[in-house]
Chain A
């Protein structure tokens, strides 16, 4: 086993990360809480959104990037709130300018405001243009294996299928599709959206996902800092379980003793 495998780092477009947990920065009570939760999560890649700035009225408003400087993290600007390829393209061009030419970004083009389900047709359209413009896209998509493969073929650097709807906390609804996506992919597969609690993150990693991206599961918990540290352990536990290779699951409901069955002091009739 070479050194890289021993280290077991997540590699995205050639850059290595020791953490396989990616987190969002939305929905926290303050930037201080955001920073504390992210530190507790151990995440190295964090998502941010791009929005119209306050013009004039609130010029001294604190800036997220002061609390989360690009020197401390790999920032992943997203296109949340974009419902067309065109809007997502404009948003990421602005993000690249905002972050001094940083090309790594999260593309998400949403279908409707109720489900926030990805519009894969617009996503594919945007991805084709943005990849040509030099963006390295980590792309939010449905758990459709064919679409996932198409996005990889376009040149996206990571495929990020949903586990369930954004902010729903409903966990992994279709592990079978995720498994197909993982088995077919030659780029990292990161479950994005739907994780509700630590066990959901572990299940995703046990399936063989390369990482998990979450926001609400941490930010909307009662104690975000504690939940962030739970998620860190959950992702590590799931990854190690995946690497270890689980025992074979029985398909009939029989036990198999862990202790020797012979030489007990018992006079039971089965010995």
Chain B
């Protein structure tokens, strides 16, 4: 069991997973989003390589209306 903090919320997962797998679970794959992993940007090309470990922090963002 691992614990990730995603957009400020704690989430539990049975085992380690990579960013691409995480997005699939959240039905966010193929969405226009960007990800920060422990303070660093994860380029889309690295989604499969980036393994997530217990205690990692992620920010998943999208574009919204703003001035």
Most buried by B among A55, A64, A65, A96: A55
Q: Are B62 and A63 closer than 8 Å at their CB atoms? A: yes
A123 interfacial contact with B, CB 8 Å: no
Q: Are B43 and A98 closer than 8 Å at their CB atoms? A: no
Q: Which of B3-11, B12-20, B48-56 forms part of the interface with chain A?
A: B3-11
Residues of B within 8 A of A48 (CB): 63-66
Q: Residues 21-63 of chain B: 1 if any A CB is under 8 Å from the residue's CB, otherwise 0?
A: 0000011100111111001010110000000000000011111
Q: Residues 72-93 of chain A: 1 if any B CB is under 8 Å from the residue's CB, otherwise 0?
A: 0001011010000000001001
Contact status of A55 and B7, CB under 8 A, knowing A94-B34, A97-B34? yes
A interface, over-half SS:
mixed
Residues of A within 8 A of B60 (CB): 52-53, 55
Residues of B within 8 A of A78 (CB): 66-67
Q: Are A64 and B63 closer than 8 Å at their CB atoms? A: yes
Residues of B within 8 A of A142 (CB): none
Contact status of A24 and B39, CB under 8 A, knowing A53-B7, A55-B28, A63-B32? no
| CB proximity of A21 to chain B, nearest CB, Å | 13
- CB closest chain-A residue, reference B36: A94
Bound-state Cα–Cα, A73 to B13, Å: 40
- CB closest chain-B residue, reference A99: B63
Which of these, B7, B66, B67, contacts A52 with CB under 8 Å? B7
- CB closest chain-B residue, reference A68: B63
A12 interfacial contact with B, CB 8 Å: no
A141 interfacial contact with B, CB 8 Å: no
Residues of B within 8 A of A56 (CB): 26-27
| CB proximity of A27 to chain B, nearest CB, Å | 7
Q: Which of A1-40 contact B (CB under 8 A)?
A: 24-28, 31, 34
A59 interfacial contact with B, CB 8 Å: yes
Residues of B within 8 A of A47 (CB): 66-67
Which of these, B39, B44, B64, contacts A50 with CB under 8 Å? B64
Q: Are A98 and B63 closer than 8 Å at their CB atoms? A: yes
Bound-state Cα–Cα, A75 to B7, Å: 24
A166 interfacial contact with B, CB 8 Å: yes
A95 interfacial contact with B, CB 8 Å: yes
Which 5 residue pairs are nearest across A and B when measured between Cβ atoms? A49-B66, A24-B67, A215-B67, A98-B34, A59-B27
Chain A residues at the B interface, C-beta cutoff of 8 Å:
24-28, 31, 34, 47-53, 55-56, 59, 63-65, 75, 77-78, 80, 90, 93-99, 166-167, 213-216
